[in-house]
Structure 1
């Protein structure tokens, strides 16, 4: 019996997902084909279907892996310094706006969500994990006298999340400058929240 090297298996799976993300970003979910994903990943359809049962599973896995990575990174954050922890959460939530494929993936995602409840569940769980961590940070900032105490922490966290979501909705726009927008994000959040 042939044994499977877990590291090679994971690397091949990751390679397929990276290639598929590029195809979905360029074509959208509906227009992207399994054949195009196979070509982009340089794998045959048999190999692809060994890893994923169908195109929807591939698309979902892209976001599932991102959600799992975000959750692990949120859990591992050093929260000794409330302000540093807050900005670390913001940076984690906003980091993918730098990815040139992000704009196309967001459009594909918005089109796919109504048909895929499992995908919606993945996104809701990731959002709740990030907002929970943000709420903890805002609460600590308020206790330390660094943030506006009149803002309910969970409400403020939701506003922060909504502002970051807005960046993702714009990141595919022509002329979008991720570094400029991320600096502006910090300015807006500082003025909104900090004292």
Structure 2
């Protein structure tokens, strides 16, 4: 039996996930089929099933990868001194994703319990990372210490997710300007009061 090369296995796995993402963006989560993903990845269904047991498993793996990427970014950003700049960098990265895919994922999660579970796991992971970042900002005096960091993290996630669909809601909207306005709103919400800064 041929020994599995873990590096090549992971590379192929990522290739399939990238191909699947292109299909999901083009055809939607429901519209994309295993056969279309195989065609995009240039592999046979049998080869694909060696890596993933189903389309749901592919979606779940994509969410896991996104969470790993977010964790790596947050860890690196948290090492810096400016928590707000770190937060805005994350907003920019998140906003640059595929808005249609975000809506597709939310819609699919409403119908598919497995998808809902995967999405909830991702949200929980991002929430934890964001709450930790907010806690660091509070400790440094950059964020209002009276804010509940867990509730604030939930609100920020909702705001950021909503901002990703602005271009779909209003194609004429200047998304960059809207993002700046969102950042201004967040700064004003998170900022400590003058009295708090003196302590």
Instruction: Pick the TM interval, shorter chain.
Output: 0.7 to 0.9
Query: What is the distance in 1 between the residues matched to 2:121 and 2:24?
Result: 22
Aligned residue number for residue 195 of structure 2: none
Would you say how many aligned residue pairs link Structure 1 and Structure 2?
Answer: 191
Which of 95, 98, 117 aligns to 2:96? It is 98
Residue 190, structure 1, aligned to residue 187, structure 2: yes
Aligned residue number for residue 114 of structure 1: 110
Aligned residue number for residue 45 of structure 1: 45
More moved, 1-10 vs 65-74: 65-74
Which of 82, 85, 103 aligns to 2:83? It is 85
**Where does the alignment leave 5 or more consecutive residues of structure 2 unmatched?**
193-199
Cα pair 1:74 1:130 within 8 Å, conserved: no
**Where does the alignment leave 5 or more consecutive residues of structure 1 unmatched?**
none
TM-superposed CA distance for 1:23, in Å, is 0.9
Cα pair 2:24 2:101 within 8 Å, conserved: yes
Aligned residue number for residue 161 of structure 1: 157
Query: What is the distance in 1 between the residues matched to 2:136 and 2:163?
Result: 26
Q: Against the structure 1 CA distance between its residues 64 and 133, is the aligned structure 2 distance closer, same or farther, given a 3 Å change threshold?
A: closer
Query: What is the distance in 2 between the residues matched to 1:67 and 1:176?
Result: 29
Which of 90, 105, 123 aligns to 2:119? It is 123
More moved, 133-142 vs 158-167: 133-142
Query: What is the distance in 1 between the residues matched to 2:183 and 2:172?
Result: 20
Query: What is the distance in 1 between the residues matched to 2:3 and 2:175?
Result: 44
Query: What is the distance in 1 between the residues matched to 2:155 and 2:114?
Result: 25
TM-superposed CA distance for 1:69, in Å, is 2.5
Aligned residue number for residue 62 of structure 1: 62
Q: Against the structure 1 CA distance between its residues 181 and 5, is the aligned structure 2 distance closer, same or farther, given a 3 Å change threshold?
A: farther
Cα root mean square deviation, aligned: 2.6
Cα pair 2:83 2:134 within 8 Å, conserved: no
Query: What is the distance in 2 between the residues matched to 1:177 and 1:18?
Result: 29
Aligned residue number for residue 132 of structure 1: 128
Query: What is the distance in 2 between the residues matched to 1:63 and 1:192?
Result: 29
Relative contact order, higher structure (CA 8 A, sep 6+): 1
Query: What is the distance in 1 between the residues matched to 2:59 and 2:69?
Result: 16
Using the size of structure 2 for normalisation, the TM-score is 0.79
Cα pair 2:80 2:86 within 8 Å, conserved: no
